[in-house]
């Protein structure tokens, strides 16, 4: 396997769109300061029946494996389009192609071993000074397993750079609310985002221009925008928030 070029910043996205949701501002700022960026996608986001149904105009019950594979290809294309908006291109992206929605399911031990090897290689070759990944407290199983795999890869490769996490799913689709900044919100007897400290230790400001570009990159994930725009738009805030993973197990 060809060795990957080293980069300054490595972003792990469980699905196409998570890289924009969590890190579009950080990526733009890195590109603007001449830093190199690689985005690693755990899955192609192929296991989303609602999105496949909307894309192909079929009832969910009529969807076939071919439809899901085509959705995955469409989402890869959207990830490339979004990357271009952020100042990157396809050569900055690595699609691992693991099955969407079942990364955390057992047994599939071959998947786990292969994923560990792929994550370790991505981290070892990239030699980043900083890594971004979804938080272990994220409610989506693919997001949690991506965090776990990155942690294991960091240990296996002796990675000593910074590892920062971001939250996408906490409180279903009720967090975050629409508004310029992220807030701690209480509903259903709990506070969100759950499982992380508040206020977030790292808050990165986005300029109005960066926020606008982030919104365009979110829209480039068209299969998601069509069905989830009311949710996705809430991440186009004037800031992005992160937690250092060093205190996580
Ligand atoms: Zn996701």
Yes or no: is domain 9-244 CATH 3.40.50.10320? yes
- Measured in Å, residue 44 CA sits from the centre of ligand 1 at 10
- Measured in Å, residue 66 CA sits from the centre of ligand 1 at 21
- Measured in Å, residue 4 CA sits from the centre of ligand 1 at 24
Output the pLDDT for position 101: 77
Output the DSSP codes for the chain.
-PPPPP-SEEEEESSTTHHHHHHHHHHHHHHHTT--EEEEEEE-S---HHHHHHHHT--GGG--HHHHHHHHHHHHHHHHHHHHHTT--GGGEEEEEEPTT-TT-SS-HHHHHHHHHHHHHHHHHH--SEEEEE-TT-SSHHHHHHHHHHHHHHHHHT--SEEEEE---SSTT-SSPSSSS---EEETTEEESTTS-SS-SEEEE--HHHHHHHHHHHHHSHHHHHHHHHHHGGG--SEEEEEEGGG--
- Measured in Å, residue 13 CA sits from the centre of ligand 1 at 7
- Measured in Å, residue 30 CA sits from the centre of ligand 1 at 22
Q: Tell me the pLDDT of the chain (249 aa) as tens digits.
A: 688 999 999 999 999 999 999 999 999 999 999 999 999 999 988 888 999 999 999 999 999 989 989 999 999 999 999 999 999 999 999 999 888 876 655 445 457 888 999 999 999 999 999 999 999 999 999 999 999 999 999 999 899 899 999 999 999 999 999 999 999 999 999 999 999 999 999 999 999 999 999 999 999 999 999 999 999 999 999 999 999 997 665
Output the pLDDT for position 107: 45
- Measured in Å, residue 245 CA sits from the centre of ligand 1 at 19
- Measured in Å, residue 18 CA sits from the centre of ligand 1 at 5
pLDDT tens per residue across span 144-172: 999 999 999 999 989 989 999 999 999 99
Output the pLDDT for position 247: 61
- Measured in Å, residue 155 CA sits from the centre of ligand 1 at 24
- Measured in Å, residue 145 CA sits from the centre of ligand 1 at 11
Output the pLDDT for position 106: 44
Output the pLDDT for position 113: 87
């Amino acid at each position: 396997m060809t060795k990957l070029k080293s980069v300054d910043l490595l972003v792990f996205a469980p699905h196409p769109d998570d890289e924009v949701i969590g890190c579009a501002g950080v990526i733009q700022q890195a590109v603007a300061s001449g830093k190199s960026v690689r985005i690693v996608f755990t899955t192609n986001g192929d296991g989303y029946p609602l999105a496949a149904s909307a894309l192909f105009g079929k009832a969910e019950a009529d969807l076939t494996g071919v439809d899901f594979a085509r959705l995955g290809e469409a989402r890869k294309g959207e990830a490339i389009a979004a990357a271009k908006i952020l100042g990157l291109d396809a050569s900055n992206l690595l699609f691992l192609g693991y099955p969407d929605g079942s990364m955390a399911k057992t047994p599939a031990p071959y998947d786990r071993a292969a994923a560990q090897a792929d994550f370790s290689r991505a981290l070892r070759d990239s030699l980043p000074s900083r890594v971004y990944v979804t938080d272990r407290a994220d409610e989506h199983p693919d997001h949690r397993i991506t965090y776990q795999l990155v942690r294991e890869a960091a240990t296996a490769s002796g990675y000593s750079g910074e590892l920062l996490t971001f939250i996408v799913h906490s409180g279903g689709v009720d967090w975050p609310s629409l508004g310029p900044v992220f807030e701690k919100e209480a509903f259903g007897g709990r506070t969100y985002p759950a499982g992380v400290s508040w206020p977030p230790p790292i808050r990165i400001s986005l300029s109005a221009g960066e926020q606008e570009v982030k919104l365009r990159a979110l829209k480039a994930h068209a299969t998601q925008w069509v069905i989830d725009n009311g949710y996705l738009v809430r991440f186009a805030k004037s800031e992005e928030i992160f937690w250092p993973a060093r205190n996580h197990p």
